[in-house]
Structure 1
Amino acid sequence: MEKADVILIHVRSVESREKLIQDLAPRNPSQPWVMFDPETHIMSNQHLRYKYRILNGIFNRTFHHRRDSDILMVHGFIVRRGSDANLLPPSWRKEPILWPTTNRTKLAVAFISNCKDNSGRLKYIREFKQFAPIDVYGNCGSLKCGSSRFAQHEYKPDTDPCMINAGENYLFFFAFENAICEDYVTEKIYNLLYYPMVPVVLGAANYSQLLPRDSFINARSFTPKQLAHRLTYLATHPQEYVKLLEWRQYYQPSTVGGARVFCDLCTHLHDPLFYQSNVYHDFYEWYVVKANCNRNGTMRFSN
């Protein structure tokens, strides 16, 4: 432990401040302690029960989904087709399905296995179903297909039979996050972009910075009833629906997977600036307050 260049600490695994310090003692002052968490504080550590102030003054660097992290955890990105895409390693460059190959008859689908409704997504979907149909797969729905689609090194969205089935049968894919927090977006949005479905997103990320223009529908701009009417209109007006797929002619998605994100950590370890003195004295302020989370589905939707 003492010879390591850095100590990566998964917030979810921390039981107490005292045990953490004891387990990692003696602390090398030239060895950065990096907070790592792919989730938000709402979903992270059940041991601490949100008492994250006990971690004040512990961490030197942060590895998180927030854009103000020292190391940004990303699950994918969009790249221009052709010469730009060809610069990527082959494993990052999977040719997406540009246009529907079947006559799709179903409106919307969602894959949800975490049923803690911190974001209000399940409540939103229940209300949506009063006005339009949606199939929900996973622990939170009545349908089953495969296992969790959490970011894993071996997971390949372009060969996932459940995603292939969704792409062949559904017009819209509900990519609803489990928490409404600053910059929080997970792998689901990039996984589904291999298929010619239109993402319906719900989260606090700036989707306009992440996705091409006119490529998605933001559920936070609609009440569930309004969204149902909007999707039904698009489904019955194919000339309007296809406009949301036109971006696929010019751009394509690339997923990086669970293991790839650690390459960014490795890159930082070769940067002398990464080792400069830095302490998150008020970790609670950074991790919880600045996350700007809107819990328990209390967000307001457009009227």
Structure 2
Amino acid sequence: MASFVLKPQHIVIGCVIALSSLCVFFIYYKPDIDFPLAGFCNRAPTEMVQCVQGNDTQSQSPTLVSKQHGDQHYNNNNIIQDADVGKNDIIVLIWMWPFGFQFELSCRELNIQGCHLTDDKALYANAHVVIFHHRDIHGDLSNMPKEPRPWFQKWVWFNMESPANLGRIPQLNDLFNLTSNYRLDSTIPVPYLAVVPVTRVDRTFKIPAKDKLVCWIVSNWNPAAKRVQFYTELKKHINIEPYGGAFDRHINDEEFLAILPSCKFYLSFENSIYTDYITEKLANPMVVGTVPVVLGPPRKNYEAHVPGDSFIHVEDFETPKELADRLHFLDQNHSEYMRYFDWRQNFEVKRIEFGHYAACETCVYVQRHRNYQAFKGLDKWYWG
């Protein structure tokens, strides 16, 4: 029996045959296994659709729809065409204008980019976030969206009123993803004012001439309110110039702007006392150059918002008479009075246009927080 001798040419021929077989195998074989995604995709919802679907490169964003939701727009000029929405823009839908007041649908003034603000409810199914103003929500939720909430969409509860001036709606307790409110512990805090560094122009601010000692402008009069009781006692010891509907001395905006700077002190008395509820009653006098005398949350809470030497707190005194004595002293001692303006060398107060600010800051928040969130227990958190 002849022995077989393996020659080099036999090895070459064998390799060629094996390689040919493998090529045929991979051409015609379709594996049933999908390889896992390379990692978690921390992207905007419009991008996450592509990430989650993996192989579907056609679905880079939710399909734009033009389904109209019954309610009319406050301003048809604000209806935004689909082409205006940037590929990576966060779409912020203002479902209802706060108290009906409209604001600029752009965040450029705040140096915020990548945001598409709109009141066009036709973009509901496409919006990354929808803002709802509590005071404008119907008790039966009849003016809330009828369509299901898209999986990527966040709902924001927005409100700037204190719990004492706001009615509960039980159906909202576990409805929202985020909160936007004057409280610093809300998801997106929106204060009534901001203390910001001054520019060279701001440093030239001059304290206006004063011809009134203490002023108060108020329309909401409740004899049981702490501020009314304090005022009633304080006026026994110092002259106070009262204005507003509560005193049948109605003033218009022009008169308001003339009166406020002419007062040495202004009673910045809040209508209810809650943490962080520090409103335009403080901001207005600080902007125009009048020293605010505050009644509201404790001093430490005020100092979380404005410099501690920029205001006088009623709780710094045992009685209204002691406060009156201090105001009389400051009236007679100009240098001591002027110390309440030392902070203006470095800072100024800006009033916040809270509807616009909330919308833009909400956009920034969603840009930075792509993860799922839910806010449970609104009633307990806000009303206690």
Cα pair 1:94 1:254 within 8 Å, conserved: no
Counterpart of 1:6 in structure 2 is 129
Secondary structure, aligned partner of 2:163: coil
Specify the code of the residue in structure 2 equivalent to 1:190. A
Cα pair distance change 1:194/1:161, threshold 3 Å: farther
Choose which of 27, 41, 49 in structure 1 pairs with 2:163: 41
Secondary structure, aligned partner of 1:276: coil
1:53: Cα distance to partner? 4.0
Counterpart of 2:50 in structure 1 is none
Cα pair 1:119 1:180 within 8 Å, conserved: no
Q: Rg larger in 1 or in 2?
A: 2
1:259: Cα distance to partner? 4.5
Task: Indicate yes or no: 2:159 matched with 1:63.
Answer: no
Counterpart of 1:164 in structure 2 is 258
Task: Indicate yes or no: 2:330 matched with 1:266.
Answer: no
1:119: Cα distance to partner? 5.1
Cα pair distance change 1:29/1:42, threshold 3 Å: farther
Cα pair 2:184 2:276 within 8 Å, conserved: yes
- Superimposed CA distance per residue, residues 79-114 of structure 1 (whole angstroms, 9 cap, x where no aligned partner): 2334xxx7xxxxxx86774323x3x34211122223
The structure whose RCO (Cα within 8 Å, separation 6+) is larger is: 1
CA distance in structure 1 between the aligned counterparts of 2:126 and 2:322, rounded to whole angstroms: 58
Q: How well do the aligned residues superpose, as a CA RMSD in angstroms?
A: 2.6
CA distance in structure 1 between the aligned counterparts of 2:216 and 2:336, rounded to whole angstroms: 22
Aligned positions, number: 257
Task: Indicate yes or no: 2:305 matched with 1:202.
Answer: no
TM-score normalized with structure 1 length: 0.75
Gaps of at least 5 residues in structure 1 are: 87-92, 148-159, 290-303
Cα pair 2:175 2:375 within 8 Å, conserved: yes
Secondary structure, aligned partner of 2:219: coil
Counterpart of 1:151 in structure 2 is none
Choose which of 176, 189, 196 in structure 2 pairs with 1:79: 196
Cα pair 1:36 1:62 within 8 Å, conserved: yes
Cα pair 1:135 1:143 within 8 Å, conserved: no
1:210: Cα distance to partner? 1.9
Task: Indicate yes or no: 2:224 matched with 1:141.
Answer: no
Specify the code of the residue in structure 2 equivalent to 1:270. Q
1:18: Cα distance to partner? 5.4
- Superimposed CA distance per residue, residues 8-49 of structure 1 (whole angstroms, 9 cap, x where no aligned partner): 12111233355466x43323332211101011121123xxxx
CA distance in structure 1 between the aligned counterparts of 2:216 and 2:197, rounded to whole angstroms: 27
- Map 1:84-103; keep pairs closer than 5 Å: 97-100=205-208, 102=209
Cα pair distance change 1:253/1:264, threshold 3 Å: same
Cα pair distance change 1:58/1:225, threshold 3 Å: same
Cα pair distance change 1:199/1:64, threshold 3 Å: same
1:128: Cα distance to partner? 1.1
CA distance in structure 2 between the aligned counterparts of 1:177 and 1:24, rounded to whole angstroms: 38
Counterpart of 1:24 in structure 2 is 146
1:63: Cα distance to partner? 0.6
Secondary structure, aligned partner of 1:207: helix
